[in-house]
Amino acid sequence: MSSAEPELEPVAEGEWRRLDKRTVLVTAFVMAGVAAGAALPTTLGLAGGMPLGQAFGWVLAGAVLLIAAGAAADYVRWRRTRYRIGLDRAELHTGLLLVKRRSLARERVRSVDLSANPLLRVLGLVKVRIGTGEHAGGESTLELDPVSKAEGERLRTQLLARTATTAPGTHREGDLAALDPSWIRYAPVSFVAPLLGGAAVGGVMQVSEWFGAQRKVIDWVGDRFQDTSIALTLVLIVVAAVAAGVVGAIGLWVEMWWNYRLEREPGGTLRVRRGLFTARSISIEERRLRGVELVEPLGVRLLGAARVDAVATGLADDEQDKHADLKVLLPPAPRMVADEVAAQVLREPVAPTSAARLTAHPQAARTRRLRRALASALLPLVVLTVLGAWLTSVLLYIAAACAVVALPAAVIFALDAYRSLGHGISGAYLVARSGTVRRATVALQRGGVIGWTVKQSVFQRRAGLLTLTATTAAGAGAYSVYDAGESEGLAFASDAVPGLLEPFLIRGDETEGCGSAEVGATIPV
């Protein structure tokens, strides 16, 4: 980030500036890429009706027109776009006919994120997103696409420069975590792998369809496996897809997490930098951090690892890139590292996610989970059996095979889901854990809770359970404690946020938590 930018003359505060002119070049390149991508199928399509040379000529003309139009449009956009960082407002004027003026109060600016795809990086440019972190859609972000790297860095430091707070405790500034390449072992077990595998198979089919050769591909695969049984062929295809998925997941991991480092900057800003081709810099002010979430997807959890997400206000999603995962502070890493990073981030001696002594939930919660899991496993089985008895006995065998696999799996998942449930208070944090396929432990600042929602279905009422949801301005907006014991859960909620729930509670002396119909009846209807 220290590349000198000779043409960047120091500009007085509050002067109107333009985006970098090279944006026209970038757009031209992008358009050329689009044209090249579209050219192949179009040429092949046209070649059916005319000589190849003629088709090529048409496509080339179209491509040139596309590139020129794109570049011209972007030139106009560049001419019409100006921004200014004033003393108390950041402003952006853009638009050709309808001039859009957007202005953010500087004191409300909560994030300045930089990202650069390979094309921008080659040209030394970055895209800057300035956000206030309000939930009002795109109205609260300014996007400068693109400015030079040095200008981006200047904006970041200028907009996030606050009076350095004297931080409590002795927590260090500088690097909190850096990438350990051995963490790549957690990439293949993520849920991305099977998705990418499926996408690979789908991609092969799609491309072959463009060439009208889908039939041939299927036949070719059929020929290869002429002597093997259908079942074995299917297994081999699945293995190939999984292998492709694993390779894809590793590739994606490298692209996302290469050069990862998490650091704390003076003035209380956490900064994540990462990315092999597309370099990103994400800044999270500590004063808008409301806690952390320790996320353990099933595969990652089995390997004893966890990911750390920030629970912060105003972490807007990047609309153009849903996979950007701006909230991730640490990629899947060994549990010890994750706890250490969580503690460092929160400036606590020990991470509340591991220090909290979690209260287990009542047995009724386990019954509910078992019942639900078995029901969802049995329903398709019953359908299969009925159809089998009616139509053909083959379905009955399939049902039996499914039963052998699905029922134990359902029980295991239900028991694990129950074991995951827990809630507690650790210092200034409220800790709640739930989930089995994606187990998440959230540590939420008690001061960050801005309301409670208590839910109770008829079944929960009979079992003496309820679901507590703490609403917050940060992260997902609400974090739930599922199926807590009625009385104990309410006591927990009222302890966690003093004064909020108390006026509405009745400390009854009824017998509690035994799951009988009488307990249900004590809830007034």
Partner 1 sequence: MRLRPPNSTLNERVVGWWRVQLLLATAIPVTLLAVLGLLIGPARLWLLTPAAVLAVLGLACTLFLPNWWFRVHRWEVTDEAVYVRTGAFWQEWRIAPMSRIQTVDTMRGPLEQAFRLATVIVTTASSKGAIKIEGLDHEQAAQLAEQLTRITRAIPGDAT
Residue 286's contacts (CB-CB under 8 Å, 6 or more residues apart) are 264, 268, 269, 270, 347
CB-based contact 511:517 (threshold 8 Å): no
Nearer to partner 1, 169 or 524 (CB): 524
Q: Please choose, out of 56-64, 85-93, 424-432, 464-472, the segment that lies near partner 1 by the rule CB under 8 A.
A: 464-472
462 binds partner 1 (CB under 8 A): no
490 binds partner 1 (CB under 8 A): yes
CB-based contact 437:478 (threshold 8 Å): no
Number of neighbours of residue 509 by Cβ within 10 angstroms: 6
* Amino acid at residue number 206: Q
516 binds partner 1 (CB under 8 A): no
Residue 373's contacts (CB-CB under 8 Å, 6 or more residues apart) are 410, 411, 413, 414, 417
Which of 326, 486, 496, 515 binds partner 1 (CB under 8 A)? It is: 486
Chain-centroid distance of CA 437 in Å reads 16
Which of 352, 472, 482, 484 binds partner 1 (CB under 8 A)? It is: 472
457 binds partner 1 (CB under 8 A): yes
135 binds partner 1 (CB under 8 A): yes
Tell the smallest beta-carbon distance from residue 471 to partner 1 (Å).
Answer: 4
Which of 455, 511, 516, 518 binds partner 1 (CB under 8 A)? It is: 455
Number of neighbours of residue 211 by Cβ within 10 angstroms: 12
Element (H, E) at 398: helix 393-420
CB-based contact 112:130 (threshold 8 Å): yes
Peptide bond just before 408 cis, omega within 30 deg: no
**DSSP notation for 83-99:** EEE-SSEEEEEE-SSS-
Under rule CB under 8 A, which residues in 430-449 are in contact with partner 1?
Answer: 448
454 binds partner 1 (CB under 8 A): yes
Nearer to partner 1, 248 or 475 (CB): 475
Q: Please choose, out of 216-224, 265-273, 295-303, 450-458, the segment that lies near partner 1 by the rule CB under 8 A.
A: 450-458
Nearer to partner 1, 145 or 309 (CB): 309
Give the tokens for residue 116: 């650069």
Say how many CA atoms lie within 13 Å of 423 toward its Cβ. 24
425 binds partner 1 (CB under 8 A): no
Q: Please choose, out of 217-225, 235-243, 367-375, 501-509, the segment that lies near partner 1 by the rule CB under 8 A.
A: 501-509
What are the φ and ψ backbone dihedral angles of 408, each rounded to 5 degrees? -60, -40
Chain-centroid distance of CA 445 in Å reads 21
Q: Please choose, out of 4-12, 48-56, 61-69, 504-512, the segment that lies near partner 1 by the rule CB under 8 A.
A: 504-512
Under rule CB under 8 A, which residues in 313-342 are in contact with partner 1?
Answer: 313
Tell the smallest beta-carbon distance from residue 499 to partner 1 (Å).
Answer: 7
How far is it, in rounded angstroms, from Cα 388 to Cα 395? 5
Nearer to partner 1, 43 or 487 (CB): 487
503 binds partner 1 (CB under 8 A): yes
Chain-centroid distance of CA 168 in Å reads 31
CB-based contact 452:470 (threshold 8 Å): yes
505 binds partner 1 (CB under 8 A): yes
157 binds partner 1 (CB under 8 A): no
Count of residues that bind partner 1 according to CB under 8 A: 40
Q: Please choose, out of 48-56, 146-154, 408-416, 468-476, the segment that lies near partner 1 by the rule CB under 8 A.
A: 468-476
How far is it, in rounded angstroms, from Cα 169 to Cα 437? 36
CB-based contact 337:182 (threshold 8 Å): no
Check residue 117 and report its DSSP letter. Answer: -
Nearer to partner 1, 174 or 524 (CB): 524
Nearer to partner 1, 46 or 478 (CB): 478
How far is it, in rounded angstroms, from Cα 466 to Cα 518? 16
Tell the smallest beta-carbon distance from residue 313 to partner 1 (Å).
Answer: 5
Tell the smallest beta-carbon distance from residue 333 to partner 1 (Å).
Answer: 29
- Selection from 431, 473, 469 nearest residue 448 by Cα: 473
Q: Please choose, out of 65-73, 155-163, 203-211, 455-463, the segment that lies near partner 1 by the rule CB under 8 A.
A: 455-463
522 binds partner 1 (CB under 8 A): yes
Residues that bind partner 1 (CB under 8 A): 135, 288, 313, 448, 450-458, 461, 469, 471-474, 476-478, 486-487, 490-491, 499-501, 503-508, 512, 522-525
